């Protein structure tokens, strides 16, 4: 297997997805395998799913792993939608190495998706300010200027007014895809909420380009007609492959 091939893994609130990635081309070279995220969110349960992926792919090389939380110096600092305290302070890369014997690099899931889009997808070659937003169980965000990432930007946690509860709550509890599903919102209703969020984010960052990714990316024909933004806004080209590709790309760059 070529040295540029890395096993990319994207840990999400509902599924853990993996594929072998050619990190030079930014492409999958295997099928994508999805295993439902175990309902007990803890290190052992996540590691057992990662071990399953490693054995499905008969893998012994590098692993790049996207995690839905802040990652600093390879330590998990937050895990809002997955396990909370169970992961805080842990070095998931080291745990993967112990469990599977593979060198692993861990990165915030939205940062990973953004890296893939900026290198290989909808933001390729863009020298300006690009904001990646991933909409799924939560809302992830990543900002780039001239292709350079400012890591761990948590715009899904901006506080907004919730009209129903009449109080300020974090944006991802108002307009994530999980909220759309659990509140049975029509696409138009969800888009109205999301447009308010876009307006707010735009007033803070003034991006030149917004890329919309995450689970919602594959349903763009349902909602893009309702989306309004003061910046140019496009759907992720790599769709839900972006998180896996970006995590693999970073592992290749960071693990020598
Ligand atoms: C987390 C982010 C993550 C996003 C998408 C949020 O709840 O705080 O770190 O990128 O969900 O998974």
Contacts of 91 (CB under 8 A, 6+ apart): 74, 75, 76, 106
Residue of 77, 107, 138, 175 to test ligand 1 pocket, by largest number of atoms within 8 Å of CB: 138
**Rounded Cα gap, residues 231 and 206, in angstroms:** 7
**Rounded Cα gap, residues 38 and 16, in angstroms:** 9
The pLDDT tens digits along the chain (256 residues) read 788 999 999 999 889 999 999 999 999 999 999 999 998 889 999 999 999 999 999 999 999 999 999 999 999 999 988 877 889 999 999 999 999 999 999 999 999 999 999 999 999 999 999 999 999 999 999 999 999 999 999 999 999 998 888 999 999 999 999 999 999 999 999 999 999 999 999 999 999 999 999 999 999 999 999 999 999 999 999 998 999 999 999 999 999 8
Residue of 83, 88, 107, 139 to test ligand 1 pocket, by largest number of atoms within 8 Å of CB: 139
Is 129 in contact with 207 (CB distance < 8 Å)?
yes
**Rounded Cα gap, residues 83 and 225, in angstroms:** 35
Contacts of 95 (CB under 8 A, 6+ apart): 43, 47
* Dist. CA 211 → ligand 1 center (Å): 16
For 121-189, the DSSP string reads: STTTT--SEEEEEEESSSEEEEEEETTEEETT--GGG-EEEETTTTEEEETHHHHSHHHHHHTT--HHH
* Dist. CA 68 → ligand 1 center (Å): 4
172 lines ligand 1 (CB under 6 A): yes
Whether the full predicted model's pTM is greater than 0.95, yes or no, is: yes
């Amino acid at each position: 297997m070529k040295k540029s091939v890395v096993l990319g893994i994207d840990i999400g609130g509902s599924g853990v997805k993996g594929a072998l990635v050619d990190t030079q081309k930014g492409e999958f070279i295997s099928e994508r395998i999805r295993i439902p995220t175990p309902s007990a969110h803890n290190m052992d349960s996540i590691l057992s799913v990662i071990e399953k992926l490693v054995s499905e792919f008969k893998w012994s090389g590098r692993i790049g792993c996207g995690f839905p939380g802040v990652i600093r110096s390879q330590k998990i600092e937050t895990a809002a939608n997955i396990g909370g305290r169970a992961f805080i302070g842990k070095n998931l890369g080291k745990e993967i190495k112990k469990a599977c014997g593979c060198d692993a690099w861990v990165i915030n899931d939205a940062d990973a998706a953004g890296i893939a889009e900026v290198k290989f997808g909808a933001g390729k070659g863009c020298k300006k300010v690009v904001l990646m937003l991933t909409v799924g169980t939560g809302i992830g965000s990543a900002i780039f200027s001239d292709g350079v990432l400012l890591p761990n930007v948590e715009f899904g946690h901006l506080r907004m007014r919730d009209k129903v509860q009449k109080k300020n709550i974090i944006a991802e509890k108002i307009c994530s895809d999980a909220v759309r599903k659990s509140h049975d919102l029509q696409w138009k209703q969800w888009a109205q909420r999301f447009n308010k969020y876009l307006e707010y984010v735009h007033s803070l960052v003034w991006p030149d380009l917004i890329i919309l990714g995450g689970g919602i990316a594959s349903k763009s024909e349902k909602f893009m007609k309702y989306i309004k933004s003061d910046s140019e806004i496009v759907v992720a080209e790599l769709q839900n492959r972006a998180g896996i590709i970006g995590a693999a790309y970073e592992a290749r760059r960071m693990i020598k």
